[in-house]
Amino acid sequence: MKVEITDDGLRVFVQNAYFKNVDFNQKEEIVSKIKDLFISLKKRYHLHIKGLYKVKVYPHKVGVVIEAILLDEENYGSSDVDLRIIILFQKDLYLKIDDYSFIENTSFSYLYKDGYYIDLNEIDDICKYIEYGMIVSDFS
Protein backbone atom coordinates (compact mmCIF):
# COMPACT_ATOMS: atom_id res chain seq x y z
CA MET A 1 0.00 0.00 0.00
CA LYS A 2 1.17 3.50 -0.79
CA VAL A 3 -0.50 6.59 0.65
CA GLU A 4 0.07 10.13 -0.64
CA ILE A 5 -1.39 13.25 0.91
CA THR A 6 -2.48 15.68 -1.82
CA ASP A 7 -3.57 19.32 -1.70
CA ASP A 8 -7.24 18.37 -1.81
CA GLY A 9 -7.31 14.93 -0.14
CA LEU A 10 -5.32 11.75 -0.54
CA ARG A 11 -4.32 9.12 -3.07
CA VAL A 12 -3.93 5.46 -2.13
CA PHE A 13 -2.55 2.55 -4.13
CA VAL A 14 -3.60 -0.88 -2.85
CA GLN A 15 -2.52 -4.20 -4.29
CA ASN A 16 -5.21 -6.41 -5.76
CA ALA A 17 -4.93 -8.84 -2.84
CA TYR A 18 -6.86 -6.37 -0.66
CA PHE A 19 -9.80 -6.55 -3.08
CA LYS A 20 -9.32 -10.25 -3.79
CA ASN A 21 -12.90 -11.42 -3.25
CA VAL A 22 -14.66 -8.19 -4.17
CA ASP A 23 -16.95 -7.97 -7.18
CA PHE A 24 -16.49 -4.45 -8.58
CA ASN A 25 -19.99 -4.62 -10.04
CA GLN A 26 -21.44 -4.81 -6.52
CA LYS A 27 -21.19 -1.27 -5.19
CA GLU A 28 -22.09 -2.27 -1.63
CA GLU A 29 -19.00 -4.49 -1.44
CA ILE A 30 -16.80 -1.68 -2.72
CA VAL A 31 -18.27 0.83 -0.26
CA SER A 32 -17.67 -1.55 2.63
CA LYS A 33 -14.04 -2.21 1.62
CA ILE A 34 -13.32 1.49 1.08
CA LYS A 35 -14.77 2.37 4.50
CA ASP A 36 -12.65 -0.34 6.12
CA LEU A 37 -9.62 1.01 4.27
CA PHE A 38 -10.27 4.56 5.51
CA ILE A 39 -10.58 3.30 9.10
CA SER A 40 -7.30 1.44 8.70
CA LEU A 41 -5.59 4.54 7.26
CA LYS A 42 -6.79 6.67 10.17
CA LYS A 43 -5.42 4.19 12.70
CA ARG A 44 -2.18 3.19 10.96
CA TYR A 45 -1.04 6.59 9.68
CA HIS A 46 -2.81 8.79 12.26
CA LEU A 47 -4.51 10.74 9.49
CA HIS A 48 -7.17 13.31 10.23
CA ILE A 49 -9.91 12.05 7.91
CA LYS A 50 -13.31 13.65 8.38
CA GLY A 51 -15.92 15.21 6.16
CA LEU A 52 -17.41 14.59 2.74
CA TYR A 53 -15.13 12.99 0.16
CA LYS A 54 -15.58 12.25 -3.51
CA VAL A 55 -13.76 8.94 -3.94
CA LYS A 56 -12.67 7.77 -7.37
CA VAL A 57 -11.79 4.07 -7.54
CA TYR A 58 -9.68 2.87 -10.47
CA PRO A 59 -9.47 -0.95 -10.59
CA HIS A 60 -6.50 -2.08 -12.69
CA LYS A 61 -4.57 -5.28 -13.30
CA VAL A 62 -1.67 -4.09 -11.08
CA GLY A 63 -3.82 -2.86 -8.20
CA VAL A 64 -6.48 -0.37 -7.23
CA VAL A 65 -5.89 3.37 -7.17
CA ILE A 66 -8.15 5.40 -4.91
CA GLU A 67 -8.31 9.19 -5.12
CA ALA A 68 -10.22 10.85 -2.29
CA ILE A 69 -11.02 14.53 -2.77
CA LEU A 70 -12.24 16.46 0.26
CA LEU A 71 -15.40 18.38 -0.62
CA ASP A 72 -16.65 19.57 2.79
CA GLU A 73 -15.20 19.35 6.27
CA GLU A 74 -16.92 22.11 8.22
CA ASN A 75 -20.34 20.46 8.51
CA TYR A 76 -19.03 17.19 9.94
CA GLY A 77 -18.08 16.06 13.43
CA SER A 78 -14.56 15.08 14.44
CA SER A 79 -14.86 11.49 13.22
CA ASP A 80 -17.71 11.64 10.69
CA VAL A 81 -16.82 10.52 7.17
CA ASP A 82 -19.19 10.51 4.21
CA LEU A 83 -18.00 8.96 0.95
CA ARG A 84 -19.36 9.49 -2.57
CA ILE A 85 -17.78 6.63 -4.48
CA ILE A 86 -17.31 6.54 -8.23
CA ILE A 87 -15.86 3.42 -9.85
CA LEU A 88 -14.03 4.10 -13.10
CA PHE A 89 -13.33 1.07 -15.28
CA GLN A 90 -11.13 1.14 -18.38
CA LYS A 91 -9.22 4.24 -17.29
CA ASP A 92 -5.62 4.56 -18.45
CA LEU A 93 -3.23 4.79 -15.51
CA TYR A 94 0.40 5.86 -15.58
CA LEU A 95 3.41 5.70 -13.29
CA LYS A 96 4.87 9.22 -13.15
CA ILE A 97 8.59 9.18 -12.39
CA ASP A 98 11.63 11.42 -12.83
CA ASP A 99 13.90 8.76 -14.35
CA TYR A 100 12.68 5.71 -16.22
CA SER A 101 16.05 4.09 -16.97
CA PHE A 102 15.72 1.53 -14.15
CA ILE A 103 12.31 0.24 -15.28
CA GLU A 104 12.68 -3.23 -16.77
CA ASN A 105 10.82 -4.61 -19.79
CA THR A 106 9.24 -1.40 -20.96
CA SER A 107 9.98 0.06 -24.32
CA PHE A 108 7.80 3.13 -24.33
CA SER A 109 7.28 6.08 -22.03
CA TYR A 110 5.87 9.57 -22.43
CA LEU A 111 7.83 12.69 -21.57
CA TYR A 112 5.56 15.52 -20.49
CA LYS A 113 6.57 18.72 -18.68
CA ASP A 114 8.24 17.58 -15.47
CA GLY A 115 8.30 13.80 -15.71
CA TYR A 116 8.11 10.52 -17.53
CA TYR A 117 4.83 8.64 -17.72
CA ILE A 118 4.80 4.88 -18.20
CA ASP A 119 1.56 3.09 -19.01
CA LEU A 120 0.82 0.63 -16.19
CA ASN A 121 -0.11 -1.97 -18.78
CA GLU A 122 3.59 -1.99 -19.73
CA ILE A 123 4.76 -2.84 -16.18
CA ASP A 124 4.65 -6.43 -14.97
CA ASP A 125 5.40 -5.88 -11.27
CA ILE A 126 4.46 -2.42 -9.99
CA CYS A 127 5.59 -3.22 -6.43
CA LYS A 128 9.25 -2.77 -7.42
CA TYR A 129 8.66 0.74 -8.72
CA ILE A 130 5.80 2.26 -6.75
CA GLU A 131 8.09 3.95 -4.22
CA TYR A 132 9.91 5.87 -6.98
CA GLY A 133 6.88 7.63 -8.40
CA MET A 134 3.17 8.05 -8.21
CA ILE A 135 0.27 6.60 -10.12
CA VAL A 136 -1.78 9.15 -12.00
CA SER A 137 -4.78 8.99 -14.30
CA ASP A 138 -3.73 11.81 -16.58
CA PHE A 139 -0.74 13.90 -17.60
CA SER A 140 -0.64 16.75 -15.11
- pLDDT at position 115: 84
Mean pLDDT on 120-130: 82
* Residues whose CB is less than 8 angstroms from the CB of residue 18 and which lie 6 or more positions away in sequence, other chains included: 1, 33, 37, 64
Q: At 126, which amino acid appears?
A: I
Mean pLDDT on 82-88: 91
Q: At 68, which amino acid appears?
A: A
pLDDT tens-digit map of 101-120: 777 766 667 788 888 888 88
pLDDT tens-digit map of 1-56: 899 999 999 999 999 888 888 888 888 888 889 989 998 998 998 888 889 999 99
Q: Which strands, in side-by-side order, build the sheet including 9-14?
A: 2-6, 9-14, 63-72, 51-60, 81-87
Q: Residue ranges of the domains in the chain? A: 2-87, 94-136
- pLDDT at position 139: 66
- Kindly state the helix (H) or strand (E) to which residue 138 belongs, with its residue range: none
- pLDDT at position 61: 86
Q: Tell which wins on pLDDT, 14 or 128.
A: 14
Q: Tell which wins on pLDDT, 3 or 128.
A: 3
pLDDT of 98 over the 90 cut:
no
Confidence band of 140 (pLDDT split at 50, 70, 90)? low
Of the given ranges (18-22, 23-27, 77-81, 88-92), which has the lowest mean pLDDT? 77-81
* Residues whose CB is less than 8 angstroms from the CB of residue 46 and which lie 6 or more positions away in sequence, other chains included: none
